[in-house]
A and B are shown apart, each in its own frame.
Chain A
């Protein structure tokens, strides 16, 4: 069966520090991968999605970046965090070429102080 792992679960970082959130998927090949951010009381905001290694599409201009160095690994990064980067970050995967279900990781709670 397929599983998705996301870490760290909780992170407290000072303004201006770097960020790296990692996500890996097991049990499937060539998945679509996604990074979402969820603010309190708001809908999920798609940040990045990837249909293959090295292929990243950005939905929202910001100081975040994403990379997909391996088929089932997706990384969210920042060189210098802003206060506004605080939030709940979710990694997800779906089957290629479908409008089907998204399978989410457990989420990473980022607090920028």
Chain B
């Protein structure tokens, strides 16, 4: 069964600290993996996409990694800011265009 599991479910860190969010998937055949950021009460916005051949990709303070062998991805946030408070959702696309969504990690940045 195609599944995407994210951990932790929620996370609270102090402003300026780093954090890493995890995404494990069992999706086959794999096409790509995206990380979305969703502010409270808003629609998700794409942060980055990882294809099978990519191991690391950065977007500003966000760095995503992908290990296609272990079927794991992570999203690392450096020097967190208050505006990083949001839910971060991992989505895996199968080659038949099916999207499998994780439940998200709710990140709270405290001053």
Do they bind each other? yes
CA distance A106 to B41 in the complex (A): 8
CA distance A92 to B101 in the complex (A): 14
Are A90 and B43 neighbours in the complex by a CB distance under 8 Å?
A: yes
Residues of A within 8 A of B45 (CB): 104
**Does A31 sit within 8 A of B, measured CB to CB?**
no
From the candidates A41, A43, A92, name the one contacting B4 in the complex (CB within 8 A).
A43
Are B42 and A102 neighbours in the complex by a CB distance under 8 Å?
A: no
CA distance A42 to B41 in the complex (A): 14
CA distance A99 to B99 in the complex (A): 8
Smallest Cβ-Cβ distance to B3: which chain A residue = A43
> Which residues 23-72 of A have a CB within 8 angstroms of B?
41-44, 46
**Does B19 sit within 8 A of A, measured CB to CB?**
no
Task: Number of B interface residues at 8 Å Cβ cutoff, please give it.
Answer: 21
Bitwise, A64-91 to B at CB < 8 A (1) or not (0) is 0000000000000000000000001010
CA distance A104 to B45 in the complex (A): 7
Are A109 and B41 neighbours in the complex by a CB distance under 8 Å?
A: yes
- Of A42, A44, A107, most buried by chain B (CB within 10 Å of CB) is A44
Chain A min CB distance to B109 (Å): 20
Are B101 and A44 neighbours in the complex by a CB distance under 8 Å?
A: yes
Residues of B within 8 A of A105 (CB): 43
> Which residues 90-113 of A have a CB within 8 angstroms of B?
90, 92, 99-102, 104-107, 109
6 further contact pairs, Cβ within 8 A, besides A42-B103, A106-B42: A46-B99, A90-B43, A99-B95, A100-B49, A102-B99, A107-B43
23 residue pairs from A and B, CB less than 8 Å apart:
A41-B9, A43-B4, A43-B89, A43-B103, A44-B44, A46-B99, A88-B41, A90-B44, A92-B43, A99-B32, A99-B93, A100-B49, A101-B34, A101-B46, A101-B49, A102-B44, A104-B43, A104-B44, A105-B43, A107-B41, A107-B42, A107-B43, A109-B41
